[in-house]
Amino acid sequence: MLFKAVVFDAYGTLFNVYAIQALAENTFQGQGAAIASLWRDKQIEYTRLITQSDPHNPQGSQYYLPFREITRRALEFSLKRLKLNYKISDMDLLMAQYDQLTAFPENLAVLQKIKEAGLTTAILSNGSPDMLASAVDNACMTECLDHVISVDTVRLFKTAPESYRLVEKTLLSHGQPFNKNEVLFVSSNAWDIIGAGWFGFKTFWVNRQDLPFETIGAQPHYTGSNLNDVLTVLQPAN
């Protein structure tokens, strides 16, 4: 077996952030797709802005905001950018859906098989601890995950090296020493794959939309169209 631990990104990898489009469409007819796309893009942009503006502070970025707050502010910007008339209750409704994001259909079974194979499983996410706890519980994944790690403790978002280093610190604190190349990092976000690869993890890119990979950074070590393909990588060599 090549790997001892499999670490997953949460949003877009385990949980379908674009599933919120249907609720947005019900609230703002004809704008659901635009809201979902702009909201996600602005959310990621804010995490990068915060991290890049104060990357060397030992206490984390002085501009840090919890991911829940960033998500709400990104939603507010998106609704304003699209010139939509909205009420606070509309934002509350959409934000509440973030705690109940649906998982991609194959994910639970894949996580169960990885656990049964004896590997350590974890999430590493920009998400706030309470957001992650709600999403994991809603997807019935609690028993399948050994660790749910939020960057909240270092107050720097991915792709800061300190965020990926949390995986090492967490595993070591639980008596699980691993080399970086014994960790398979799984994400559907190409930028996350690049950051994890630069840090030293082996990477698996979940390319659900058949997109080209980024033109900077090393290519992912493995690629598949959904999480089922991760299982093929974890099969022991004959």
Q: Which residues are catalytic?
A: 9
Beta bridge partners of 202: 184
Closest CA to 83 of 38, 19, 22: 38
- Residue 153 sits at the vertex; the CA angle it makes with 135 and 88, to the nearest 5 degrees, is 50
Phi, psi (rounded to 5 degrees) for 157 = -90, 160
State the DSSP string of 19-83.
GGHHHHHHHSTT-HHHHHHHHHHHHHHHHHHHHHHSTT-TT--TT---HHHHHHHHHHHHHHHTT
